[in-house]
Amino acid sequence: MRRDDEAAAESLAELSKFFRSHPVTGPAGHSYIASEARPTRVHAGAPANLTVVDHIDATVAELADYTRQANPEAGTLPPRVEAVYEWCAENTKNAPQDVQQRRDTIVYRQHLEHAIAMGDTKVVRPIRCPACRTLGLFWKREISRAICTNARCLTKDGLSHRWTLARLAHAQIEDRQKSVRVRAT
């Protein structure tokens, strides 16, 4: 299986390639790619692209914040946006277990976010519902939540369970952590 950070880096690379090939002229400065030549071409899809830029910015900022908190010695960010995952992993590889688990959760959540940003909503399908443990999550764009389609899996108000990507990532990484511990004993 592909590692989450590789998958996340790959989709972030795709996103930033998308951004670069669809230049934006919006007023928002791009803090991360700012060192590169400023695009001047006006593109019809600018509003959507600004969302992509915001998404990339937020991704990098979150990882940078996490990494510098975990390791104040972490140096400057790498020049290529997708290399931020490697940079983060390298600078936190000796961090305590819980700090590394937090990183894995962020990376996994970002991997899901990148996929959904590119329209790949099927990315939630292989994840088990944290409540009923079955497969069958369905992404609902309008509410930005994954809904459990198991008819018997309901909240106490009789509604389908709805999960944020953060909650799913947290559950997924917890599960993996547990299975690692089981294998180790």
Least distance to Zn ion from the beta carbon of 162, Å?
A: 10
Tell me whether residue 121 or residue 150 sits nearer to Zn ion (CB atom): 150
Distance CA 84, CA 34 (A): 16
* Shortest distance, position 179 Cβ to Zn ion, whole Å: 20
CA distances from residue 60 to 43, 117, 125, 160 in whole angstroms, order as listed: 24, 15, 26, 33
**Per CB under 5 A, which region of 15-23, 27-35, 55-63, 143-151 contacts Zn ion?**
143-151
Of 24, 52, 129, 171, the one binding Zn ion (CB under 5 A) is 129
Using CB under 5 A, which of 7, 148, 169, 173 touches Zn ion? 148
Query: Does 137 participate in binding Zn ion (rule CB under 5 A)?
Result: no
Q: Rank residues 129 and 173 by Cβ distance to Zn ion and give the closer one.
A: 129
Of the candidate residues 118, 153, 154, 166, the single one contacting Zn ion (CB under 5 A): 153
Tokens read off for 52 = 């992509």
Per CB under 5 A, the segment of 4-12, 31-39, 46-54, 121-129 that binds Zn ion is: 121-129
Q: What are phi and psi of 101, to 5 degrees?
A: -65, -35
Residue 174: CB minimum distance to Zn ion, A: 16
Q: Which two tokens stand for residue 73?
A: 């010695």
Kindly write down the DSSP assignment for every residue of 116-184, as one continuous string.
HHTT-GGGGTTSPPTTT--S-EEEEGGGTEEEE--TT-B-TTSPBPEE-HHHHHHHHHHHHHHHHHHHH
Question: What is the nearest approach in angstroms of Zn ion to the Cβ of residue 172?
Answer: 14
Describe the strand order of the beta sheet including 137-140 as a list of residue ranges: 137-140, 145-148, 162-163
Reading phi first (left if > 0) and then psi (alpha if -120 to 50, else beta), residue 41 is in beta
Binding Zn ion (rule: CB under 5 A), the pick from 150, 154, 162, 167 is 150
CA-closest candidate to residue 168, choices 109, 98, 101: 109
Residue 132 sits in the site that holds Zn ion (CB under 5 A): yes
Residue 154 binds to Zn ion (criterion: CB under 5 A): no
Q: Which residues bind Zn ion (CB under 5 A)?
A: 129, 131-132, 148, 150, 153, 161
